[in-house]
Every structure is written in C-alpha cells, then in structure tokens.
Amino acid sequence: MSDAKVIELAAHKAEGPKRKLVRPSGCKHLKVEIDEDAGVVLCLTCSKVIDPFVVLLGYAKEENFVFQDMIYWDEQTTELKVEAEKLRKEIRNLKAQKRRLIKTKAHIAL
C-alpha cells in the first residue's frame, strides 16, 4: 500500500529481531544508545528497547535538576560574596582599631 502523502521512514522498515517496548523496571536504563537504522532507543545495560519518550523525559528531568543546582549555587555564591565583603570590612575596622590603640599606648608611654 502506497500513499504519496504518507512518508515511510526507512528506520521503521528495517528488518531485525522483534523487540518488545518496555517501561523502566529493574534496570534504570541509564546508558542508552540510539539505533538510527532500526529507529529505536536501546539500553546498553539490559539491551531492551526503551520508549523514546521515557528517555526524553529523563533528559528533561536531569536538565531541570542541573538548572535547579545552578540557581542554588548562584544564590550561594551571592551570599558568600556578601559575607566576604562583611569580613573585609571587619578586618579594616580591626586594623584601624589596632592602629588607634597603638597610637594611644604610645601617647601614654610618653
């Protein structure tokens, strides 16, 4: 059956052993490979065919975690910069106080 308006992808016509589409269970399918010829995503650990949506969703969640981490570390950096500035100011004040005390002590000794 051929319809000029329907485009058939070569990947879906590829022959090979029938593979069962599975949801993540047991194996977390952390390492995957895209088999472009067969048009499937394969788990490199358990060799099962993985639903591409599940893989895409995993990448999206991981990217979101990374983004949240970036926001957290950016806030931490800002807080540390404020703390560092407070400490620098305190050091300047202590040095000034030390100079005044030395000056006063020298005055008393005279």
- Residues binding Zn ion (CB under 5 A): 27, 29, 43, 45-46
- The partner residues of 32 in beta bridges, in order of sequence, read 43
Residue among 45 and 78 whose Cβ is closer to Zn ion: 45
The total of other beta-carbon atoms located within 10 Å of residue 13's CB is 9
The total of other beta-carbon atoms located within 10 Å of residue 23's CB is 9
Residue among 44 and 71 whose Cβ is closer to Zn ion: 44
Do 53 and 36 contact (CB within 8 A), yes or no? no
The total of other beta-carbon atoms located within 10 Å of residue 51's CB is 15
Report strand pairing: 40-43 vs 32-35. Answer: antiparallel
